[in-house]
Amino acid sequence: MHRSDELILQRIQDALYRAEEEHLSPLACRSCEARWRHPDTRLDYRQSFARDADRILHSRAYSRYIDKTQVFSLVDNDHITHRVLHVQMVSRIGRTVGRFLGLNEDLIEAIALGHDIGHPPFGHEGERILDKLCRAHGLEGFQHNIQSVQFLERFERKGAGWNLTLQVLDGILCHDGEVHNPRLAPCRDKDFARLDQEIRDKGHNPRLALRPMTLEGCVVRLCDTIAYVGRDIEDAVELGLIRRDEIPERCSRRLGSSNGSIVYNLVTDLLLHSHHVRERSACRGSDQDWIGLGEETAELLLELKKFNYERIYKNPSFKPDFEKIHICYERLFAHYLRQLEKDSTGRGSGRDFLQTMSEAYLQDHPAPAVVRDYLAGMTDDFFLRQAQEIGCRIPERTCLPN
């Protein structure tokens, strides 16, 4: 690139930074505030968080979202949500919220696209199985948010990672919103040492409540729930597991009975109860430094989540053969451990399953952690093919309405 071209792009980038200063909320995270673990001095005209979003999109782990279970496994129905669609929905909803509240849309997008990269095959059931196996082999329990950071920082690009910003990695780590917390305030005073400590603390105590360091991270955490609660209902109706008229009457009346109406009404309430974020007088750490839902809507959302849990996630009408999947996990874990015992580099004959890992990565991780990372990165179909190759009986797909 000619020097004159570089100067043109630099001037455009500077103008974009100035526009953020002029138009974003005082509570928003500016791109110029981005922090890296390893300084990157390469010329790049993209703003920091936009570059992170691009790097996540081009990661191998993101490609594997395409065949990762969201809720419903082993179903032959092309209209059922897979994880790749879920993260796109979180990103789209989150960017809408960010635009209305004057927050950094690039940061929201990057966190949203990367937040579920650590999920193993077969969704939350696979996570529970892998958690037990990790504990049985002397590791801490498996948590997909920690695994997402592990993939993006230490696994991708043969262990070099993507050198993502602190704000994006923090948002991914802290996205877990299973605890019902309809109002979120950021915990802004963080650095990479704090991030590493929170990863260790969360590993020791999975119930530890973490808060994102930015309002953008708070947006993703709330929008994660908004994105799945109605969509899971839509998928369950598509599969004939529930009927729309079974949705709690109060929720249906106030939020709607379709995914579109549920998302729209939840987002509307979030914007109306968080519009103070746009005020020029707002300042970080003040009583305005939060986003959230109104009290009534928060109660309705909690009721809807409980309905989903009882009528969808625990529904006995749809239970794929997780006993076989459990056995496959156990046998694959043991198989790869044996391979590593024979050849710790994983490069010997018949032990080429670790070609994407560097020597430094293999030396820095105990064998069970290497196996954990390899299994967690698999798609559902690849997992089943590998299990079948070592003699496992694998479950068959279910044909439900399409």
Phi, psi of 277 (to 5 degrees): -60, -30
> Is 279 within 8 Å of 24 (Cβ atoms)?
no
Using the predicted structure, report yes or no on whether residue 347 has a pLDDT greater than 80.
Answer: no
Where do we find the tokens 């999109």?
Answer: 57
Q: What angle do CA 226, 229, 232 make, to 5 degrees?
A: 135
- Would you call 213 exposed, middle or buried from its count of C-beta atoms within 10 A (0-12, 13-18, 19+)? buried
Do residues 128 and 263 both lie within one domain?
A: yes
What CATH number has the domain bearing residue 66? Answer: 1.10.3210.10
The pLDDT value given to residue 342:
80
Do residues 234 and 368 both lie within one domain?
A: no
Report d(CA 387, CA 118) in Å as an integer. Answer: 20
- Give the residue from 313, 345, 365 where a domain finishes: 313
Which tens digit of pLDDT belongs to each residue from 42-92? Answer: 778 889 999 999 999 999 999 998 888 888 788 878 888 889 999 999 999
Do residues 343 and 281 both lie within one domain?
A: no
Report d(CA 74, CA 262) in Å as an integer. Answer: 27
Do residues 119 and 208 both lie within one domain?
A: yes
Domain that holds residue 86: 37-313
Do residues 342 and 304 both lie within one domain?
A: no
User: How would you classify the pairing of strands 183-184 and 291-292?
Assistant: antiparallel
Give how many domains the chain has, as a whole number. Answer: 2
The answer to whether residue 78 is domain-embedded is: yes
Using the predicted structure, report yes or no on whether residue 191 has a pLDDT greater than 80.
Answer: yes
Report d(CA 271, CA 276) in Å as an integer. Answer: 9
Determine the residue type at 120: P
Tokens of 97: 């919220």
Mean pLDDT across 194-213: 95
Determine the residue type at 181: N
Tokens of 79: 């209209």
- Give the residue from 313, 334, 356 where a domain finishes: 313
Using the predicted structure, report yes or no on whether residue 296 has a pLDDT greater than 80.
Answer: yes
Do residues 354 and 305 both lie within one domain?
A: no
- Give the residue from 270, 287, 313 where a domain finishes: 313
Look up the pTM and report it: 0.93
Average pLDDT over all residues of the chain: 90
The answer to whether residue 394 is domain-embedded is: no
The answer to whether residue 22 is domain-embedded is: no
The answer to whether residue 155 is domain-embedded is: yes
Using the predicted structure, report yes or no on whether residue 105 has a pLDDT greater than 80.
Answer: yes
